[in-house]
Amino acid sequence: MNDRPMTAAATTPLAINAAFDGGNIRLVRVDGDRIDLEIVKDRDSDYFQWFYFRVAGGAGRTLTYRILNAGSSAYPFGWPGYKARASTDRQAWRMIETRYADGVLEFDFTAETDLAWFAYFAPYTMEMHAALIARTALLPGVTHRELGQSLDGQAIDAFTIGTGPKQVWIYGRQHPGESMTEWWMEGALERLTDSADPVTATLLEKATFHVVPNMNPDGTYRGHLRTNAAGVNLNREWATPSAEKSPEVLCVRNAMDATGVDVAMDIHGDEAIPANFIAGYEGIPSWTDAHGEKFYDYGRRLAAHTPDFQTEKGYPKSAPGTANLSMSTNQLAERFGAVSMTLEMPFKDHDANPDAEYGWSPERSKQLAHAMLETLADVIDAI
């Protein structure tokens, strides 16, 4: 947890609070209708960008919120064109007009109710995660395992679904501030447990799915952007994970070693690029064009399957022999010969198919999971 409850000066009834599951903000000052704030750094780290806080006592007022240290955040180039999310019920998270200038992120909000919440993206808290785990574990055909524990002692939960010979590992939330990833996971689990769906039935005959919805429960609860309780970026630990720094990766990779991996999907969010895309494993020592073509074919098919995916925008490809094997997608492609991919979803919107009210949203994240599983069904025989 980043902060305790904070109340503005006695002359105003406003109260700014981030002392809850996933919360992150620090109150600097209240000056009339202007509220100055700072995002708190991840513990033992310089990373920060995720914010999530509530405001009490603002009914009937138009307040201006200014995040003063936005320009020093992990990815300041992501702020131009970004719109903060606001909610009065913590269910619907709408975009609000947001300005970024001189290192300050600023937005106005006129509250019609006493309470309002603001976040970098629609939150997916550890309480929501616990509910997802509980209801999924009760479904037929699902096996739950606790693969290990985080540094704070939280469970690293995994589900096994299906009986087919192909081993598909889906894991997300290595970077806890990328909350769209667990919305995607919710959608994937809903589809994989739909016993009436013919696509699901085919997939589960051909593949066994191993799903880890949240790789970083400590960072999620603490309101971190990118790291675990030790300030470690888990997606730089896959070459040499350790019980001391990254037990979350260690227990998952050990489980992968026990099953092998044919397909790996690492689910993420990207701060700057207004599009959904996948990154691959170009540059690994064992790269072959035939292996890489399986990854490219999947991306082309997915783009043809849904307007919420594209292949034009994305990260630069690694040059031959330069892949960072501490990143999971590269490590698993090299270690197992897996068709391995990193999905990146936007904090902004998928500009090729925009939504003016919600932008990229929880529901669209869930639907993209469905589309990715449908596309996987088309190619699983060739992998």
Cite the active site residues: 344
- Distance, C-alpha 249 to centroid of its chain: 16
DSSP state of 24: B
Q: How far is residue 275 from each of residues 144, 175, 301, 336, measured CA to CA in Å?
A: 33, 18, 17, 29
DSSP state of 131: H
Tokens of 25: 């903000």
Nearest residue to 240 via CA among 339, 324, 150, 154? 324
Residue where the block lists tokens 């929501």:
128
DSSP for 304-366, written as a single string: HH-TT--SSS-PPPPPTT---TTSHHHHHHHHH--EEEEEEEESS--TTS--TTTSS-HHHHH
Strand ordering across the sheet containing 15-17: 6-7, 15-17, 52-56, 115-119, 85-87, 94-95
Phi-psi region of 363 (alpha: psi -120 to 50; beta: other; left: phi over 0): alpha
Q: How far apart (Å, rounded) are the C-alpha atoms in residues 148 and 115?
A: 38
DSSP for 61-114, written as a single string: -EEEEEETTGGGSS-GGGSTT---EEESSSS--EE--EEEETTEEEEEEE-SSS
